[in-house]
Structures are given as C-alpha cells and as structure tokens.
Structure 1
Amino acid sequence: MVLRLKHHAGTPFYKGSIQKILENACRDAEKYVTSNIDGVLMENMNDVPYVQAKHLGPETTAVMSLVCGEVRRLVPSSIPCGVQVLAGGNKEAVAIAHASGLQFIRAEGYVFSHVADEGFTDSSAGELLRYRRQLGADNVLVFTDIKKKHSAHAITSDVSLEETARAAEFFCSDGVIVTGSATGDPANPHQLTAVKKGCSVPVLIGSGVTAANLCDYLQANAVIVGTHFKHNGQWQNEVDVERVKVFMDKMHQARLKTSTD
C-alpha cells in the first residue's frame, strides 16, 4: 500500500519542517498497520513538479532515508516495506532501501526508453543492478514499471507490453508492474493476463485498483494501492482508514475463496 510522503526539502511546496514529514509518515503507517495491510511502499509523489534523477539533490535521499528508516521500525518485520523515488531515482531508491532496511524498490525507466512529463527517461537496468551489487544490496528486490504511466511510448510503439515484460525479465527484474495511463487509472485486465502468460517473474498491478474492481486483478501476484485509500479517492487527500479496511476485508475474502475453490 502506498504511503505518500509530504513535500520534501528543496521542492516548491516544502513547508519547512522535516519533523512534520516524519510525523505524518509514521501516522499514515500506523493507519495502514491497524488496517492489516500486506506491505508498504513509500514515495515522494508530493514533490511536484518532478525532476529527472540527474537533478535530484542529496537532500531528497537524506530525508527519505530518515523517514523510511523510522517507518520500517514502526511497521512489523513481517510486513515488507519499499520505496520509490520520483522521478526515475532508481539508484537513490536502492541506497535508501539498503540504509533503511527495506525489502524492495519500485523502479521506472528500467528497460527501453520513454518520454515522461519530466522529460526523456532512458533504460537503467544495467547501471542500477551494478550499483545494487556494489552496495551489497542484492537482497533489495527491484520491481519495475513497464510502459510507465504518465508517459508517451511512441518511440517503442513497435514493442508490445508483453515484449517489454520479457525484456525486463531478461534484464533481471524481480517483478514487473502493469498500470493504467495515469495515477488512479485502472490497468487493463486483458493486459495483465497477457503479461502473466508472457513472462515468468511476478506481475504486479500498479494503479487504479479499488474495492469495486479488485476481482479483475486476482491473478496478479500483488496490487499496489494508493489513491483508493485516500478520502474521496483523491490521491492528495489523507488516508481514510475505513476505505483501507473495507478493501483489505474484500482482499482477504477473495484469497479465502481462491484457496478453497
């Protein structure tokens, strides 16, 4: 489940208090834990407008390491935690995960290239996994977006989603993420089926999953939910514990039904 951190130091909407960023993150983490979630993914989605990884300042990595470490200590060890650094800060994410004791990262721009709203993003797999090895962080899993949302993919229009997934698998991705076209937009269930058939790594759904459409994605190995858990289903709002609990109850019921079928 996605834990969206407040605006970081150095970004346009930073409020001037790292302590408040930390307190808010811990408060949201507690809400998720009491709602019986299965995992936590922290990200800096509020740091709009995003910059490419080469323009990310060390303050982002520093603050996110602090916050992720505190959340990791708060969340039971049985619940995996991860991080995504926008935009395309995959090496930064590995460093944060390694320092904070996280189990995974969400990476974008892993294979092939695309044009996102923050600019051109090139593939990072080779450099990223070499960096992971240099840090001794091979225990940090790398889950990778394919045909990333909020992006144009005209330059790879001759490469299907399934081919992109196979390329990510060939380049040692620990799992691929299928999304809709934007945050909160549902992924196409038929694309999920095709990708599941086309590769052997875990396939995750990374946008648009709700309590109402959860059954469309039960064949996924995991779902990443953020927007649906906010008040009124708006990503910028606070976490709505009731929405989280309703979703998790439905998830557990679906799992029970699947195990008994």
Structure 2
Amino acid sequence: MESWIRELFGVSKPIIGMCHLRALPGDPQYDPAKGLDWVYECALADVQALQTGGVDAILFSNEFSLPYLTQVEAVTVACMAAVIAQLKPHVHVPFGVNVLWDARASLDLAVATGAQFVREVFTGVYGSDFGLWNTNPGAVIRHQHRIGAQHVRLFFNIVPESAAYLGQRHIADIARSTVFNTRPDALCVSGLTAGSGVSTQTLKIVKEAVPNTPVFANTGVNLENVAEQLAVADGAVIGSAFKVDGYTWNAVDVERVKAIMNKVRMIRPA
C-alpha cells in the first residue's frame, strides 16, 4: 500500500488539490460569451495556485456541471480533454480526473489526457439527488482493460455525495465487500456535499475494516481538522478549504493552500 502511494505521489499521506472546471458546453451554467478559453484561464489560475501552495497532486473535475449526470454527454468529456491538454504543460505534479458522475467516461478521459488516477463512484446502488444511481463495476473494469488503462489507479468513492446506499448496510461491511469484490486501489469517504466534513470516527471504521487498502478523506478537510483526519486517513482530497473564503465555487486562494500544506508537512511522516 505504502509503496504505490509513495511511488505515485512522492510522499506519505498525500494531499490532492481539486481543480474545479467551470461549466462546460452543454451545462446549464455555461457562458458561451466567455467560451471555453475562459474555462481554461480559470483552471490555469487554480492549477498555478495549487502548485505554488505545495499540493502533492491535482484532481480535475467538472464540478460546475450541476446538476450532474450519471451518464455524461460526449461533449463534456471532449471539452474536459481539450482543457486538460492545454493545462498539461503547466502541471508539474501527478494528476487525476473525475467526470461527475460517470466512471466509464472518467477512464476514457484518463486515457486521453494521461491521468495517473481516477476518482469515481464505481460500486453500489443509491437513492440520490440525481435519481436512482446504479453502477456496473464489472463492465467498467473490463472497459478499463479494453482501453489500455490498467495503469490508472482507481479511487472508489464508497460514500457518494448527495446520495444514500439502498439497503441497510454498515459502512464497514461496504468497505470490506468492495475491497473483496472489486480490488480498488483506494477508498474515498465523503460527507453530504463538497466541503462537508467526514467524521474521524467514520474514517476509523473504514480503515479498521480494510487495513491494507488506502483510505482517503474525500470532503471537508480543512486547516482545523487536517491533523486529526490524517492521523487516520492515508491521504486527503481538498477542494473547498483551498478556495477564497473556503467557498466551493470561488477560485483557489494560494495563501489558504500554503497554510494547510505547511501544517501537513509538520505532521506528515518523514
């Protein structure tokens, strides 16, 4: 477990910073007057702030594509690929992709852009704000192999945002069966929405259930709780806490990134 995390990210307990792409063509909030060039300019500013602040990796997602689809349109993947291709010369840390919320599309995007990892909801059936949310991990993993994406690390979000697992299953049982049946590279544990905290107790339950699988805190990590969260989790994905005023929909604030990463470096194992 430790070896591949160190090999990919260069550190123990890596911090993955979110680069939230602005609304894309086809999205309700897309601004055709500003166009895709503006989406790129905003993303470039966030990438530069995240890297200047010292993050260990970047995860690109179409966060502004609300309301999300569980089977995205082709234009979304195409536009994300175009923007990330422009950004790649400026990205100097490992990066991943997440097409909200379509696992197959995320893998397609990873192959197109050279991303090293993907975060997605690969397993489970949920009642969600986006309707009945079903998955097909067997088909998706076969698709991964068919398109030559075996090298892409898979981060399984087992507590999807804005959704609840159908059926009464304890989170420890979900973690154990997910690891047994699908062999994820890592598990992500989330709160209700972006920026919503994950209880340290929930992280402990998941980590104790699957001690040999990396477990990441996926939402709500901030300056105040990062030490407590990383005492349990093997890493964290941070979005909102890096933004101006800690607000999800704002631009990345380099000073907030520096403050959190300085604290992480103080507490992280050498």
1:23 aligns with 2:41: yes
Task: State the distance in 2 between where 1:113 and 1:246 align.
Answer: 38
Alignment of 1:207-226 (within 5 A): 207-218=219-230, 219-226=232-239
CA contact (8 A) 2:117 2:154 kept: yes
Alignment of 1:200-239 (within 5 A): 200-218=212-230, 219-239=232-252
Q: 2:94 aligns to what?
A: 80
Task: State the distance in 1 between where 2:95 and 2:62 align.
Answer: 15
Stretches of 4+ aligned residues off by more than 3 angstroms? none
Q: 1:111 aligns to what?
A: 123
SS in 2 for 1:156: coil
In the superposition, the TM-score normalised over structure 2's length comes to: 0.89
Q: 1:10 aligns to what?
A: 26
Task: State the distance in 2 between where 1:180 and 1:49 align.
Answer: 18
Q: 1:40 aligns to what?
A: 58
In the superposition, the TM-score normalised over structure 1's length comes to: 0.92
SS in 2 for 1:242: helix
1:49 aligns with 2:67: yes
Task: State the distance in 2 between where 1:239 and 1:64 align.
Answer: 19
Percent of aligned positions with the same letter in both sequences? 29
SS in 2 for 1:13: coil
What is the CA-CA distance between 1:69 and the residue it aligns to? 2.4
Q: 2:201 aligns to what?
A: 190
Task: State the distance in 2 between where 1:210 and 1:13 align.
Answer: 28
What is the CA-CA distance between 1:181 and the residue it aligns to? 2.0
CA contact (8 A) 2:103 2:120 kept: yes
* Backbone CA RMSD of aligned residues: 1.2
Point out where structure 2 has 5 or more consecutive residues left out of the alignment: 1-16
What is the CA-CA distance between 1:186 and the residue it aligns to? 1.0
Q: Which of 47, 57, 71 is matched with 2:87 structurally? A: 71
CA contact (8 A) 1:68 1:96 kept: no
1:49-84 Cα shifts (integer Å, max 9, x gaps) = 22221xx211101011112223333111xx210111
Equivalences, count: 249
**Deviation larger for 1-10 or 44-53:** 44-53
Alignment of 1:103-252 (within 5 A): 103-108=116-121, 110-153=122-165, 155-157=166-168, 159-170=169-180, 171-199=182-210, 200-218=212-230, 219-252=232-265
